[in-house]
Amino acid sequence: MTLPAAQPDRHPLAVQHPELDDASIRLLVETFYGRAREDELIGPIFNRTVEDWDEHIGRISDFWSSMFLKTGRYSGAPMRPHLLLELQGGHFDRWLRLFETTAKDLFAPELAELFIVRARRIADSFEMGIASTRGDIARPRHSV
């Protein structure tokens, strides 16, 4: 895959793709969480935990924007809130399956794959971090 040259107004380390911008990130986050809230396995966790959906979607959009576009809008420790939840491997699998389906439904294959690869790394990192904190042994299951 050949990526276009950096756009002048983008950070030099930002991921370069003509369709990757804050609007596409926001669309993915809003669509995914709309679906996740209705999911029978992970929906109850999200609905029990998230108090302000507008704030949560904005925060997660900033997280993805900071990762891909290097906007620096996200500051925080994303692992911490997840440590407080009773998450198991099946929760991560469902989150990832739903995220991948959403990305593929919304975007051309190249852009969807950029999101999916990063989501798999995040899922592995969170799952391993939680297992480590609990004293369990975990290994990456989702990364490509």
Q: What does the pLDDT look like over 95-107, one tens digit per residue?
A: 999 999 999 999 9
In a domain, 15, yes or no: no
Whichever domain contains 34, its CATH number is: 1.10.490.10
In a domain, 80, yes or no: yes
Q: Kindly tell me if the per-residue pLDDT of 59 is higher than 70.
A: yes
In a domain, 105, yes or no: yes
Least confident piece of the model among 17-21, 80-84, 90-94? 80-84
Expressed as residue numbers, the domain containing 64 is 22-134
**CB–CB of 38/28 below 8 Å?**
no
In a domain, 9, yes or no: no
Dump the DSSP string for 38-96: H-TTTHHHHHHH-S-HHHHHHHHHHHHHHHHH------S-THHHHHTS---HHHHHHHH
Q: How far apart are CA 59 and CA 57, in angstroms?
A: 5
In a domain, 6, yes or no: no
Provide mean pLDDT across the span 118-138.
79
Task: Tell me what pLDDT residue 15 has.
Answer: 56
Task: Tell me what pLDDT residue 139 has.
Answer: 57
Of 88 and 62, the structure prediction assigns the larger pLDDT to: 62
Overall pTM > 0.75: yes
Closest among 99, 78, 96 to 142, alpha carbons compared: 96
Of 7 and 38, the structure prediction assigns the larger pLDDT to: 38
In a domain, 3, yes or no: no
In a domain, 123, yes or no: yes
Task: Tell me what pLDDT residue 81 has.
Answer: 75
In the chain, the number of structural domains is 1
Closest among 46, 58, 137, 141 to 96, alpha carbons compared: 141
In a domain, 27, yes or no: yes
